[in-house]
Amino acid sequence: MLEKIWVSQYDKNVNCELCGTPIPLGNMILEAAANFGDCESIKEGKEVITYNDLNNLTGLIAGNLKNLGLSKQDRVGVLLPNLKETIIAFWSIVRGGFVGVMTNPLYTESELIYQYNDSGIKTLITAEPFLPKIKAILDKTNIQNVFVVSNNFIENEDKRIKPWKSLLKETSSYICENINIENDLALLQYTGGTTGISKGCMLTHKNLWSNAKQVSQMFEVILEPGRERFIGVLPYFHIYGLQVSVIIPVMLSACMLPIPQFSPRGLLKLIQEEKATCMPSAPAIFNACTSQKDIDSYDLSTLKFIISGSAPLHVAQMIEFESKTGAKISEGYGLSEASPVTHFTSVLGKHIPGSIGLPIPGTEVKIVDIETGTVELKNGEEGELCIRGPQVMKGYFNRPDQTNEVLRNGWLHTGDIARCDKEGFFYITDRKKDLILTGGYNVYPREVEEVLLNHSKVKEAVVIGVANKTRGESVKAFIVLKEGEALEKSTELIEFCRKHMANYKVPKEIEIRNELPKSSVGKVLRRLLREEKIAA
């Protein structure tokens, strides 16, 4: 384990160890209501929900979910964009001792079926635009109740489908009293893998509370409980967006400002109108905003703190956005398996271009050799980044073998290649996995390749990420057609992909080749394709 030399780089008075005693997540709502009950918890349009209101609403919904026959640790799916109902649903689920399964609204029917059957959800909360998709898959899952957020819900012949408002009917307020914070799950967060098989990260109440507290400690020099206003532009279904835009704000008794659909001008307008103080974000969002010719016409002066994650932030982007807002930007690193944050740059201290920052309080780090993962390396040497701390997941749901691959002797092996400099700043230098980061989303090449190989004309397929100025990376596929086959039009394969996967996973470019570079044992050399693309 590396010596914690990075602690000297923390902002003044930031404790290097985790402070406080973890509690069940639902109790955070009770604490916020007790201390800041009249403060705004959510504002959407003209509608304001105070922390007293949020306490009442989540208590009712938790009680009504329990009255449906749900038991502690039963899974509840949430298929929603960023809405006030998304926030309320999440907190109601964890308050009742149930397990949230947050789902990407862009998923196709086949992706939804897989996730819902793998997690075993019994209840789903969704919105009217997604109802046709849900109706098509309902009989292929074990879902018993679907609650629909809708302004004009129409009674459905399928009695399993009900209005969201039915979860608000009067009943006894409920909070699960016997939650074991070490073992009971709050969230089953799905991620991809190098095999292309989506896995559910089992995140406990302790995991998520601890990570919220670790991040809050890191930024307590700039954030004030009961006074902050958090822009919700990152998707709540993603662990990064959920942690920094929904869980941490409640720990701080802050106001959450959900944005259902991102547009640069819509975001800038909301910051101005609502006097937002905090904006968890991503490089693609910064780029979209600074590209607006009229950005200087918006008053962004209330922004004081911005979090950047999901992809490396270019120095020019950081400087430009800080100059236009006066806000401090902190860049970080994390992964779903760690709830997700492990590193952040300090707010007031030193920033080094290209660095992911410092391990957050209570986090232990080591760098091990790539070949065996057992030999600890010295400072400055490159190897696999390993994390140990209270934020590290319990494991992958129903996948003990894959759990044992990444969790070894209490250490999470991230699969990313990193080094630590003499001051304690960390740098990601490569990826052991072939993960593609596009517009803040993770794309796993194997998953895209599997879809391409299902096309009747495709013999071989390999996918890589290529540099993209606005999205970080874009997906490019190389294919070999079966003998005698030809494509009638260049977009045929892209259209095929769109039918079988979310749009952000679809290749932006497909190159047809006579053969792919391979090793002596027939393995496609993805690395050579990357190098070839860079050299072009």
In the chain, domain spans: 24-180, 436-535
Per-residue model confidence (pLDDT) at position 519:
61
- Quote the percentage of the chain above a pLDDT of 70: 97
Per-residue model confidence (pLDDT) at position 523:
67
Please list, in sequence order, all residues whose beta carbon lies within 8 angstroms of the beta carbon of residue 71, skipping any fewer than 6 positions away.
none
Burial group, residue 530, by CB count within 10 angstroms (0-12, 13-18, 19+) = middle
Q: What is the pLDDT of residues 156-166, one digit of tens each?
A: 889 999 999 99
- The band of 187, judged by pLDDT with boundaries at 50, 70 and 90, is very high
| Third-level CATH fold of 24-180 | Rossmann fold (3.40.50)
Given a cut of 80, is residue 435 above it in pLDDT? no
Peptide bond into 353 cis (omega under 30): no
- What does pLDDT average to over the chain? 92
Which whole number is the average pLDDT over 79-86?
98
- The band of 194, judged by pLDDT with boundaries at 50, 70 and 90, is very low
**Distance in angstroms (rounded) separating the CA atoms of residues 459 and 485:** 10
In terms of Cα–Cα distance, which of 339, 390, 337, 398 is closest to 75?
Answer: 398
Given a cut of 70, is residue 522 above it in pLDDT? no
Given a cut of 60, is residue 192 above it in pLDDT? no
Given a cut of 70, is residue 82 above it in pLDDT? yes
Given a cut of 60, is residue 198 above it in pLDDT? yes
Per-residue model confidence (pLDDT) at position 140:
98
Per-residue model confidence (pLDDT) at position 534:
77
- The band of 280, judged by pLDDT with boundaries at 50, 70 and 90, is very high
Q: What is the pLDDT of residues 209-253, one digit of tens each?
A: 999 999 999 999 999 999 999 999 999 999 999 999 999 999 999
In terms of Cα–Cα distance, which of 282, 308, 118 is closest to 197?
Answer: 118
- The band of 309, judged by pLDDT with boundaries at 50, 70 and 90, is confident
Instruction: Provide the CA 285 distance to its chain's centre, in angstroms.
Output: 15
Residues 40/50, Cβ–Cβ less than 8 Å? yes
> What is the bridge-based pairing of β-strands 411-420 and 407-408?
antiparallel
Q: What is the pLDDT of residues 442-464, one digit of tens each?
A: 787 878 988 999 999 999 999 99
Q: What is the pLDDT of residues 10-42, one digit of tens each?
A: 999 999 999 999 999 999 999 999 999 999 999
Range 436-535 has CATH code 3.40.50.720: no
Per-residue model confidence (pLDDT) at position 195:
41
Which whole number is the average pLDDT over 353-358?
89
Q: What is the pLDDT of residues 464-517, one digit of tens each?
A: 999 888 888 999 999 999 989 999 877 899 999 999 999 999 999 999 999 999
Identical fold, 24-180 and 436-535: no
